[in-house]
Structure 1
Amino acid sequence: MAKVRIYQLARELGMESAELMELLDTMGVEYKSHASTLDAETAEAVKEIVREQRGLEEQRKAEEARKALPHRAPVVAVMGHVDHGKTTLLDYLRKTRVAEREAGGITQHIGAFDVHVGDKRIVFIDTPGHEAFTTIRERGARAADIAIIMVAADDGVMPQTREAIAHAKAAGIPMIFAINKIDLPQANVDRVMQDLMREGFVPEAYGGDAIVVPISAKTGQGVDELLEMLLLVAELEDLRADPEAEPKGVIIESKLDKRAGVLATILVQEGTLRIGDHVVAGEVWGRIRAMMNADGVRLEEAGPSTAVQVLGFSELPTAGDVLEWVPDEAAAKEISEERKEERKRREEEEAERRRVRSMADLLRQMQEGQQKEINLILRADTQGSLEAIKGILAKEETDEVKINVMLAAVGAPTEGDILLASTANAAILSFGVNPAGSVKKAAEKKGVLLKSFRVIYDLIDEVRVMVKGQVEPTYREEVIGHAEVRAIFKLPKGGNVAGCMVTDGKIVRNAEIRVLRGGEEVWRGRIESLKRFKDDVREVAAGYECGLKLAGFDAFEEGDVLEAIQVVEVTEV
């Protein structure tokens, strides 16, 4: 780049000359006037600074615009081990008797409802287990802002508690731990605190930063404090949304009602959804004909962080599908058809691409995703085995590659593990336990690497392969042989072939060649053909003659030395 005058550079950057000269002053660049010239290096440095300043300015404006938006209510998911009181808490909050009506106290459907704390509002999503929560995230949506992890005071941290923690971690949302059933005589809050510390969560009461609230979902003791903590975390998260934006949300649940037809529960996340709006969710379109909230009140519109049940979809939308506003029915139908066709085209390719047949396939997927973290789900026959495996794995981490154990639990791998692994690109490794046939089929279908081991160190070796596959390899050049040009033969169709004698090592067909003349390199490239007499060969050893044709060079001279080089990976010891 040639020299450029200050006023010319200012015009190119869309600035006033005076503004640019102020910048030059701060850089310590000397000049006489706006007609002074800048060298290419200085001009490029100025452009870089201006680009950086404008980028920061755009970020600042974007943040200012976000700060100008109104706050929205936090959306909370309640998760935990079966019978640890999830449904009882939700029942207490919405003042209904759902828990008594449901078989065994286990939630069997998804619901969403509001809880008012003073002038604040909290939206609770009731997901049956972690599968629905993960399915929503698997489809690219994020429904919840905060997770409440329920832990029974008389039971402690259990396998499904760990699963709930793993799912919340994978979703990247903050967690609040609710120690439930403190009204029971056998309740032991301190033991649960110890359990949580073993999982890596140090409660605030013990000097850590994990928010832990003891409650009784049955009597309501501590529930007000839990709600206050939710609002505090929501304030720190600074949740905002634009009610004037195009409506957008996520499908929480859908069902076919005998009288009403297709009903879908929608969590509105952006904009305001109104009666008469046309929407698309996945491959399904609809026109909103009616909306009602959890209390059965009909609504004309629903803003951000509002859960509503709507009537108007042509078919059942899938839980987890993102809902988008479209201008009219024609656009809705067109988008729906396009997505159906795209799915059909993609299904066969996707099934083949995602099927992980080996460790090499998983490593390829990780490298394609630029992943420098190995996500693992560990299953073992005993807690002792798990601790031993985790202890050894901790030593296998490198500065470049982190081993992230998302879930470590006793027992055989489950279909819930497969779902988690598929969303987090994780491998499931089990020791001393075998997965059921249905789990193996689910792993194959989802493209999840699922392997079982009987020897701990076989499992560790498998992880070492994964770690090695994530480290950027180091290469070095290795000279493998030399050949001297003894004669030059012209080809009938043009070009020359070098008649050579291999003086040491060997010349290999796929090697790189350096042409040396008087000790100086005159060309470097690949071999086009390597022959002995008239036969193509893969390599020629020392003491034998050969004919060499190079790709892109034929100006040989007698006495030239051809040096064969191979690039080899340096193995770290």
Structure 2
Amino acid sequence: MSAKRQRIDERYREPQDIGAPESPPIKSEGDRRITVPPSLTVKQFADLVGVSAVEVIKQLMRNGIMASINQVIDYETAAIVASDFGYEALEEQPQAPAQKRKRYQRFQEDDTTVQKPRPAVVTIMGHVDHGKTSLLDAIRETKVTATEVGEITQHIGAYQVEIREQKITFLDTPGHEAFTAMRARGAQVTDIAILVVAADDGVMPQTLEAIDHARAADVPIVVSINKIDKPEANIQRVKQQLAERGLLIEEWGGDVVCVPVSAKKKEGISDLLENLLIVAELEDLKANPERRAVGVVIEAKLDKTKGPLATVLVQTGTLKVGDSFLVGDTWGKVKAMFNDKGKRLKRAEPATPVEVLGLNSVPQAGDTLTVTANEREAHTLAQRRQEEKRLASLKPTTPLSLSELFSQIRDGRVKELNIILKTDVQGSIEPIKTSLERLNIDEVKVNILHSGSGSITERDVLLALASKGIVLGFNTSPEPGARQLADSEGVDIRCYQVIYNLVDDVERAMKGMLEPTYVEVVEGHTEVRAIFVIRGRGKVAGVYVTDGKVTRGALTRIIRNGEAIFESTISSLRRFKDDVREVATGFECGVGIEGYSDFQVGDIIEFYRKEKA
């Protein structure tokens, strides 16, 4: 550190008129030490010493270092600046590798001697059009051996490549939507996630989504910067953007592997595969090939000639032709197995994807396949599951919701509240996240799994379902498909217009003080076809009831060009000259809205009531 200080002092002897450094917050004499990681951004360092980022930038300038708020500095530089602010910096020591969590704990055997290394299972994620499918194709084509040339590749949902006599399994359905949909059904199949980022576009909204989905699943991320062959490619900018999102690559002092590639020109593919093998080795992936097989359904379909087919990824054990099995609420016996090249296999070891023939019916993606002692046992267990499923469908679901949060905390079922946050604009995210993350009540931590701007999508609902979380919207609303999925799966979506109300509701729910919630029940819709002026009453709308019914006193919402522009209640409801209580579908009537007269032909009026949830 002293050598670096000396070099800086020699180069910048003249004092720079930048103003005196801001005084750090007053701390006790024993509290003047700070622990600094090997690398961190200027903003992170500013938060660590309790001063503004501007003051840190000024102090760096005094020491001859030009840096922006998101630029990464190393420990040595941070230690110098820390001493300028009156702190002693201590370098953060990395955690011992022995503390690393092993994946697939449910398959760990008491006798570890029976376990053997298995191939890694890899999923490719990233923004649309950044080259996920092109990368999958490039990997497959690059690793085709001479004996395989001319063979027809079968799309079975996954495939394997071999490099240096080691195999890697790739899930052939790119994108984090499929990945999270599998997790939502309880299937954790991925060991490593490849994050594809285009070198010309940089980090985009779905890139951020993919990062959050991978972190929620607790899988290591390998960054692949694609399209490096393009003239406008800017690899350094991509690395900077990733650092701002907490993905610090190895050459910048982090632990995230980053490999530049060109899927189009097939450059960097071998380097990417080599790095995947290294990450897989660090993960220490093992399974017992001698036990009965357990696997997960990746894809399933009904073939016109072969009948029900399922692509199964074997997770542990060895699946053999002739094995009887239970999968979801159906069963079967392995009559034949095929790999992704259409070749018949007699056995499939851990992390091997195979297409299985011999099912009784088509299972669902994400269902677990378990080999049984015989067909009778498989059939009996399948019938039992079908009955359990039928009985479960008769009972109301009890998912995690704000209304039920306190009782689940009290019963010890919830130790962490996972939240997916969507807002209308990006600027609203930080103040809401900061306010929510401060709410640690009764040892329950608030965890913002994903945040972004825009409407609430099906991907948000799937992430909440997979992570047992809730979706909060601020000045935004769910898309129709997202609302339908949330209703069918029991995912709680709450929308707010005031930040205080959002934070207050979460806090009150955690304390068990949340007021009862009400849901909207839509009764009907009408279309405005004419506008009339009634003496003493102002304007009323001549409408046609397109669906449902119109009831006097109902709550109303005026919708124009797909957006709600006014909410009120019915002030008058008439057919011809008579006041009526309700008007059914297919009839015309006159409607007056309390406090509103600015009707336009083509407006849609929605009628609804509120019921206690």
Asked if 1:457 corresponds to 2:500, the answer is yes
Output aligned runs, 1:464-475, within 5 Å. Answer: 464-468=507-511
Q: Which residue of 2 aligns with 1:81?
A: 127
Across the two proteins, how many residue pairs are aligned to each other? Answer: 396
Q: Which residue of 1 aligns with 2:62?
A: none
C-alpha displacement at 1:319, in angstroms? 0.7
Matched residues in 1 for 2:512 and 2:268: separation?
49
Secondary structure of 1:150's counterpart equals strand
Contact 1:270 1:303 in 2 (8 A): yes
Contact 2:457 2:481 in 1 (8 A): no
C-alpha displacement at 1:136, in angstroms? 2.2
C-alpha displacement at 1:343, in angstroms? 0.5
Secondary structure of 1:166's counterpart equals helix
TM-score normalised to structure 1 length: 0.65
Asked if 1:427 corresponds to 2:427, the answer is no
C-alpha displacement at 1:413, in angstroms? 0.6
Asked if 1:381 corresponds to 2:427, the answer is no
Q: 1:415 to 1:327 in 2, by over 3 A?
A: same
Q: 1:397 to 1:208 in 2, by over 3 A?
A: farther
Matched residues in 1 for 2:473 and 2:375: separation?
51
Q: 1:369 to 1:319 in 2, by over 3 A?
A: farther
CA RMSD of aligned residues (A): 2.4
C-alpha displacement at 1:110, in angstroms? 6.3
Contact 1:80 1:160 in 2 (8 A): yes
Matched residues in 2 for 1:77 and 1:369: separation?
34
Q: Deviations over 1:174-193 (max 9, x none)?
A: 11111111111111112221
C-alpha displacement at 1:355, in angstroms? 8.1
Q: Deviations over 1:344-378 (max 9, x none)?
A: 011122x343384xx22234345545323221111
Letter in 2 for 1:124: F
C-alpha displacement at 1:441, in angstroms? 2.9
C-alpha displacement at 1:398, in angstroms? 6.3
Match of 1:159 among 205, 219, 240: 205
Q: 1:70 to 1:80 in 2, by over 3 A?
A: same
Contact 2:138 2:269 in 1 (8 A): no
Letter in 1 for 2:381: I
Q: Deviations over 1:466-488 (max 9, x none)?
A: 45459xxxxxxxxxxxxxxxxxx
Secondary structure of 1:236's counterpart equals helix
Unpaired segments of 5 or more residues in structure 2?
Answer: 1-104, 143-154, 514-613
Match of 1:236 among 237, 258, 282: 282
Q: Which residue of 2 aligns with 1:307?
A: 353
Match of 1:272 among 312, 315, 318: 318
Contact 1:374 1:466 in 2 (8 A): no
Asked if 1:414 corresponds to 2:457, the answer is yes
C-alpha displacement at 1:399, in angstroms? 8.9
Secondary structure of 2:326's counterpart equals strand
Secondary structure of 1:376's counterpart equals strand
Q: Which residue of 2 aligns with 1:249?
A: 295
Q: 1:85 to 1:324 in 2, by over 3 A?
A: same
Secondary structure of 1:343's counterpart equals helix
Secondary structure of 1:360's counterpart equals coil
Matched residues in 2 for 1:297 and 1:141: separation?
27
Matched residues in 2 for 1:71 and 1:133: separation?
24
Q: Deviations over 1:444-502 (max 9, x none)?
A: 222222111112222222232245459xxxxxxxxxxxxxxxxxxxxxxxxxxxxxxxx
Matched residues in 1 for 2:377 and 2:413: separation?
36
Q: Which residue of 2 aligns with 1:224?
A: 270
Q: 1:396 to 1:365 in 2, by over 3 A?
A: closer
Contact 2:464 2:471 in 1 (8 A): yes
Structure 1 stretch displaced more, 221-230 or 396-405: 396-405
C-alpha displacement at 1:396, in angstroms? 3.8
Q: 1:419 to 1:205 in 2, by over 3 A?
A: same
Match of 2:379 among 333, 342, 352: 333
Matched residues in 1 for 2:192 and 2:412: separation?
27
Q: Deviations over 1:228-275 (max 9, x none)?
A: 111111111111111110111111101112222222111111111111
C-alpha displacement at 1:158, in angstroms? 2.0
Matched residues in 2 for 1:355 and 1:347: separation?
17
Matched residues in 2 for 1:166 and 1:79: separation?
11
Q: 1:439 to 1:138 in 2, by over 3 A?
A: closer
Q: 1:399 to 1:158 in 2, by over 3 A?
A: farther
Match of 2:414 among 371, 378, 385: 371
Structure 1 stretch displaced more, 126-135 or 142-151: 126-135
Identity %: 48
Secondary structure of 2:160's counterpart equals strand
Letter in 1 for 2:309: L
Secondary structure of 1:155's counterpart equals coil
C-alpha displacement at 1:420, in angstroms? 0.8
Secondary structure of 1:225's counterpart equals helix
Contact 2:124 2:175 in 1 (8 A): no
Letter in 1 for 2:399: R
Letter in 2 for 1:166: D
Q: 1:233 to 1:67 in 2, by over 3 A?
A: farther
Asked if 1:287 corresponds to 2:333, the answer is yes
Q: Which residue of 1 aligns with 2:248?
A: 202
Matched residues in 2 for 1:64 and 1:352: separation?
36
C-alpha displacement at 1:291, in angstroms? 0.8
TM-score normalised to structure 2 length: 0.61
Unpaired segments of 5 or more residues in structure 1?
Answer: 1-58, 97-108, 471-573
Q: Which residue of 2 aligns with 1:49?
A: none
C-alpha displacement at 1:335, in angstroms? 0.9
Q: Which residue of 1 aligns with 2:148?
A: none
Matched residues in 2 for 1:242 and 1:180: separation?
36
C-alpha displacement at 1:432, in angstroms? 1.6
Letter in 2 for 1:371: V
Q: Deviations over 1:315-362 (max 9, x none)?
A: 11111111011122211111110100011011122x343384xx2223
Letter in 2 for 1:410: S
Q: Which residue of 2 aligns with 1:354?
A: 399
Matched residues in 2 for 1:289 and 1:90: separation?
30
Asked if 1:441 corresponds to 2:487, the answer is no
Secondary structure of 2:123's counterpart equals strand
Q: Which residue of 2 aligns with 1:345?
A: 391
Q: 1:416 to 1:72 in 2, by over 3 A?
A: same
C-alpha displacement at 1:170, in angstroms? 2.1
Contact 2:261 2:269 in 1 (8 A): yes
Secondary structure of 2:116's counterpart equals coil
Secondary structure of 1:428's counterpart equals strand
Q: 1:223 to 1:340 in 2, by over 3 A?
A: same
Q: 1:463 to 1:355 in 2, by over 3 A?
A: closer
Letter in 2 for 1:115: V
Contact 2:400 2:470 in 1 (8 A): no
Q: Which residue of 2 aligns with 1:262?
A: 308
Q: 1:399 to 1:197 in 2, by over 3 A?
A: farther
Q: Which residue of 2 aligns with 1:140?
A: 186
Secondary structure of 1:354's counterpart equals coil
Letter in 1 for 2:133: T
Matched residues in 1 for 2:120 and 2:369: separation?
19
Letter in 2 for 1:339: R
